Structure 1
């Protein structure tokens, strides 16, 4: 279950240029009896569809990029990658805590029970953009920030970030029109890939801190 996120801590995060690595004390959460994890819901930011031509026109070019990205998203019905990142992180955290992820379907969470920990992921950048060394080759650049939050006190328990860009010669690259038309499902496949990579990066930070603290 995704919860509309209105906490002040989230607003404070949006202006940060960078995020410190996750510093989440799993032992404290276990001792406090945290047993329900939920994800948050944010408005989907605009995808920028950047071409060499549009990039030459400053503000007007930026508007054109945003409009082109919006059309691609709407035409192909794609989701904000943050939805998938937060879901994966919630599953990881719940497994580490022996907890349950709050969902719409059947589960062990009692009706009306409130979450103990919120996983909040915010997409900071997602771009359909060419490679500078190969203008005709495109892929998705994705960056996001994550917060793990005590649902009762609204305290930020830990933070993390990711930055993903597929290799130029990988299967996650193609021409601009291939992405725009989602040929061979290249757009949806690549978005799923960058979301997985993002969750792995943030989850890896969490695991590294847990290992260090242990």
Structure 2
């Protein structure tokens, strides 16, 4: 029981506390001909949550993040925010005739709109996609089975004023609860299955954002 309680507490800590109510693009707004730039962030911490590490509370949480970051590095796992950004930008160009500016590869120092406006000048709109949480963790009722959690915040920000134009928070578990994978399965073959789930999460986020917030 103690391990289960610790696991639940750590999951809450690692999930991040972000409030991002959905804001849809105003009916009168248009992306037609707008110059769009995509923000970039440093790769966030990934947590690999296992029962053994969960038993050690916050020390265990640090160990989970260390193990997760090592997995991401060794298996070259990309931040899904990159895929989400590229997909959304391409759709904005194809479906709304927006002009996507060349990537500057400037890494944002923080996600304050005022900071982003200064870092990415010359755009009408900043497409800001940030991974809030990505991890895999075990089922408290079945320690041998795992699921993947992914959360990202997607914003359109006015490139001149920093005003919020549209926003959506994605929270996705791309695994099948009726057939959850094992830890070994997620990590096998250079984490191929984990990459597949993260790709699925990115596609689900794109679909949600386009339907609910961007109306693309």
Same fold, judged at TM 0.5 (above): yes
8 Å Cα contact 1:82/1:144 also seen in 2: yes
Deviation at 1:190?
1.3
Q: Secondary structure at the match of 1:79?
A: coil
Paired with 1:159 and 1:58, the residues of 2 have a C-alpha distance of 34
Q: Secondary structure at the match of 1:121?
A: strand
Deviation at 1:137?
1.7
Q: Secondary structure at the match of 2:204?
A: helix
Paired with 2:17 and 2:69, the residues of 1 have a C-alpha distance of 25
Paired with 2:35 and 2:87, the residues of 1 have a C-alpha distance of 15
Tell me whether 1:25 sits opposite 2:32 in the alignment.
Answer: no
* Structure 2 gap segments, 5+ residues each: 1-15, 104-120
Tell me whether 1:192 sits opposite 2:191 in the alignment.
Answer: no
Deviation at 1:183?
5.2
Paired with 2:24 and 2:57, the residues of 1 have a C-alpha distance of 39
- How many correspondences in the alignment? 183
Paired with 1:92 and 1:103, the residues of 2 have a C-alpha distance of 15
Deviation at 1:140?
1.6
Q: Kindly provide the CA deviation profile for residues 62-115 of structure 1, in whole angstroms up to 9, marking residues without a partner as x.
A: 1110011011100100111111112222223333422232346xxxxxxxx933
Paired with 1:28 and 1:123, the residues of 2 have a C-alpha distance of 26
- 1:131 aligns with one of 110, 135, 139: 139
* Structure 1 gap segments, 5+ residues each: 1-14, 105-112
Deviation at 1:124?
0.9
8 Å Cα contact 2:75/2:191 also seen in 1: no
Q: Secondary structure at the match of 2:65?
A: helix
Paired with 1:67 and 1:102, the residues of 2 have a C-alpha distance of 35
Q: Secondary structure at the match of 1:145?
A: strand
8 Å Cα contact 1:36/1:116 also seen in 2: yes
Cα RMSD after superposing both structures: 2.5
- 2:148 aligns with one of 134, 137, 140: 140
Deviation at 1:142?
0.3
Deviation at 1:184?
7.2
Paired with 2:100 and 2:63, the residues of 1 have a C-alpha distance of 40
Q: Which residue of 2 aligns with 1:4?
A: none
Paired with 1:45 and 1:184, the residues of 2 have a C-alpha distance of 18
Deviation at 1:51?
0.8
1:46-195 matched pairs, under 5 angstroms: 46-103=45-102, 114-165=122-173, 166-170=175-179, 173-182=180-189, 185-195=192-202
Paired with 2:191 and 2:56, the residues of 1 have a C-alpha distance of 31
8 Å Cα contact 1:148/1:159 also seen in 2: yes
